[in-house]
């Protein structure tokens, strides 16, 4: 199905998704459902380990090209710190089947919050 026409938008829902990061760097963190467009406003990663840094990887998976593109590639997140991977000043859009994927270099150290708008016509 084609992406909704943004000029004919009938519904925009503000949403937030959160996840603990695993060491699988291609974990699907958010996927665009059928007949929708997701406007990704912010992606914020945090390190909940009080002692050690971890390496963060976040990518945009383009379903139509069956290819992932890096948003952050093995970026070190210091202990007890946050990292803004994507901000509202530079949003991206996910079409049907597109995903935000990611993971951490160390298990149980990282968490991620994704703020987005779900748009339909």
Residue 82, beta-bridge partner list: 46
Write down the domain spans for the chain.
17-120
**Helix residue ranges, H only, 2-48:** none
Cα 26 to its chain centre, rounded Å, is 11
For the whole model, what pTM was predicted?
0.93
For the stretch 61-75, pLDDT in tens is 999 999 999 999 999
pLDDT at 18 over 70: yes
17-120 folds as: Jelly Rolls (2.60.120)
For the stretch 79-103, pLDDT in tens is 999 999 999 999 999 999 999 999 9
């Amino acid at each position: 199905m084609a992406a909704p026409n943004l000029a004919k938008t009938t519904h925009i829902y503000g949403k937030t998704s959160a996840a603990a990061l695993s060491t699988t760097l291609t974990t699907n963190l958010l996927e665009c459902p059928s007949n929708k467009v997701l406007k990704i406003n912010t992606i914020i990663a945090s390190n909940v380990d009080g002692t050690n840094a971890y390496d963060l990887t976040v990518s945009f998976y383009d379903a139509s090209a069956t290819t992932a593109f890096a948003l952050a590639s093995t970026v070190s997140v210091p202990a007890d710190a946050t990292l803004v991977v994507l901000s509202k000043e530079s949003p991206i859009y996910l079409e049907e089947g597109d995903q935000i994927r990611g993971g951490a270099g160390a298990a149980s150290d990282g968490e991620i919050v994704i703020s987005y708008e779900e748009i339909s016509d």
